[in-house]
Amino acid sequence: MTEKTPKLTPEMLVPRLGDHLVQQGHISKDDLKKALSYQQEKIARGENILIGQALLELKITTKEMLDQAVTEQIIQLRSALQATNRNLERRVQERTAELQNALKRLSELSELKANFISNISHELRTPLTHIKGYFELLASKSLGPVTEEQAHALKVGQRSTSQLESLIEDLIMVSITSRGELTLKQEVVDIRRIAHLTVKAVTEKAEKRDVTVHAVVDKHLPAVQADSQKTIWVLGQLLDNGIKFTPAGGRVVLRVEHESDKLITISVTDTGIGIPPEQVAEIFESFHQLDGAATRRHGGMGLGLLLVRQIVEAHGSMLEVKSAEGRGTTVKFPLLTTSAE
């Protein structure tokens, strides 16, 4: 037996038409009951009719009254829908305003933080310049003779001031990048010279830790398009990490490889403690250091890699970190040569 579907009528648009007719006093409760059981009988026989049709067939109501009831209900539904829409729009507006306020407050806070870092770094730099200058004068004996012990003390003082200086430079770099003010001075860079220069600058520190450090640079390297000061800084940071996180007896290598006419790659590989795979993303978070004990021993603020990545990305490049726990880490990025468009 195939069920007949009811004819398409406006009644299909409204729920509980029978109840509405009773509420409006158009029909009695008994009439409705009668019509419902009539409808059930028809359905049982495979004729699927709506309650309005049942009322018409039983002559309880007229077509006009039915149409009017359906129209009334559609109007009611439409105004309920409009009211809900208005309510919804108002709530969306309220939420949007709240979110806008929160965003404004957040950017104010982040600007405040950037200004604070910037101000404090500049304030720290001025007195440090004086200390550094006087240390140099004393060490050069321009202010009179110094004993061997005093010379040693001055050396320690000078080393500490340069550490402090580089921390302050890092902070200044953070404040610059967090304000989106990182600009590059694009120059033709002799990457071979820079590689040897940066390795030389960290050799003493590496030797003290019994770690060897050297540069392996491909012959006939093409010139590279980059910001030379910032590239030097980046290599210095990567070498510093390599040395810091490599136990005595280990090795750190700075490699510059000629990939193609248009590309060279720079990598710093160490045989150090490595980074657990699930923590690789964390090393780029500001002020984040993986191993509290190790970093306390090695110093630093947990800013280096964040800035390194920002500088590398400002060059249109990407930093890649490969690491195996207990075996070492390689940090690598490509740079465009001057013949690349």
Ligand X SMILES: Nc1ncnc2c1ncn2[C@@H]1O[C@H](COP(=O)(O)OP(=O)(O)OP(=O)(O)O)[C@@H](O)[C@H]1O
Binding positions for Mg ion, 238-267, rule CB under 5 A: 241
Options 53, 231, 329, 337; binder of ligand X; rule CB under 6 A: 329
Rounded distance between C-alpha atoms, residue 212 and residue 203, angstroms: 8
> Does 329 engage in binding with Mg ion (CB under 5 A)?
no
Residue 267 within binding range of ligand X, rule CB under 6 A: no
Instruction: Report the candidate in 233, 245, 249, 241 with the shortest Cα–Cα distance to residue 170.
Output: 233
Distance CA 32, CA 12 (A): 18
- For the chain, helix (H) and strand (E) counts, in that order, are 9, 7
Give the residue at shortest CB distance from Mg ion: 304
Report the C-alpha gap between 321 and 333 in whole angstroms: 9
CB of 171 to ligand X, least distance (A): 9
Instruction: Provide CB contacts within 8 A for 20, sequence distance 6+.
Output: 14, 69, 72, 73
Cβ 291 to ligand X shortest distance, Å: 5
**Which does residue 55 touch among Mg ion, ligand X, none (CB within 5 to 8 A, set by kind)?**
none
Q: How far is the CB of 125 from Mg ion (least distance, A)?
A: 20
Could you identify the residue written with the tokens 């109840």? 19
CB atoms within 10 A of CB 315: 20
236 binds Mg ion (CB under 5 A): no
204 touching ligand X, by CB under 6 A: no
Minimum separation from the CB atom of position 216 to Mg ion (A)? 22
Q: Is 304 in the site for Mg ion (CB under 5 A)?
A: yes
Piece of 99-107, 151-159, 188-196, 267-275 that binds ligand X (CB under 6 A): 267-275
Between 14 and 290, CB nearer to ligand X = 290
Closer Cβ to ligand X, 51 or 305, answer by number: 305
| One residue of 38, 135, 233, 245 binding ligand X per CB under 6 A | 245
Q: For residue 208, which amino acid is it?
A: K
CB of 237 to Mg ion, least distance (A): 5
Of residues 154-193, those binding ligand X (CB under 6 A) = 170
Residue 246, SS3?
A: coil
Which of residues 175, 241, 271, 337 is near ligand X by CB under 6 A? Answer: 241
Question: Is the separation of the CB atoms in 161 and 294 below 8 Å?
Answer: no
According to the binding rule CB under 6 A, does residue 202 interact with ligand X? no
Binding residues for ligand X, how many (CB under 6 A)?
23
**Environment class of residue 341 by beta-carbon count within 10 Å: exposed (0-12), middle (13-18) or buried (19+)?**
exposed
CB of 296 to ligand X, least distance (A): 10
Q: How do beta strands 320-324 and 328-336 pair? A: antiparallel
Cα-based distances in Å from 153 to 90, 145, 290? 71, 14, 33
d(CA 130, CA 151): 18
- 187-206 binders of Mg ion (CB under 5 A): none
Segment 268 to 307, residues that bind ligand X, using CB under 6 A: 270, 272-275, 283, 289-291, 295, 300-306
Backbone phi, psi, residue 336, to 5°: -80, 145
Q: Which is closer to Mg ion, CB of 87 or CB of 229?
A: 229
Instruction: Closer to Mg ion by CB, 166 or 265: give it.
Output: 166
Which residues, other chains included, contact 147 with Cβ-Cβ below 8 Å and sequence gap of 6+? none
> H or E segment at 324?
strand 320-324
Burial classification of residue 233, based on how many CB atoms lie within 10 Å of its CB (0-12 exposed, 13-18 middle, 19 or more buried): buried
Residue 117 sits in the site that holds ligand X (CB under 6 A) = no
Q: Which is nearer to Mg ion, 18 or 304 (CB)?
A: 304
Binding residues for ligand X (CB under 6 A): 170, 237, 241-242, 245, 270, 272-275, 283, 289-291, 295, 300-306, 329
Binding residues for Mg ion (CB under 5 A): 241, 304
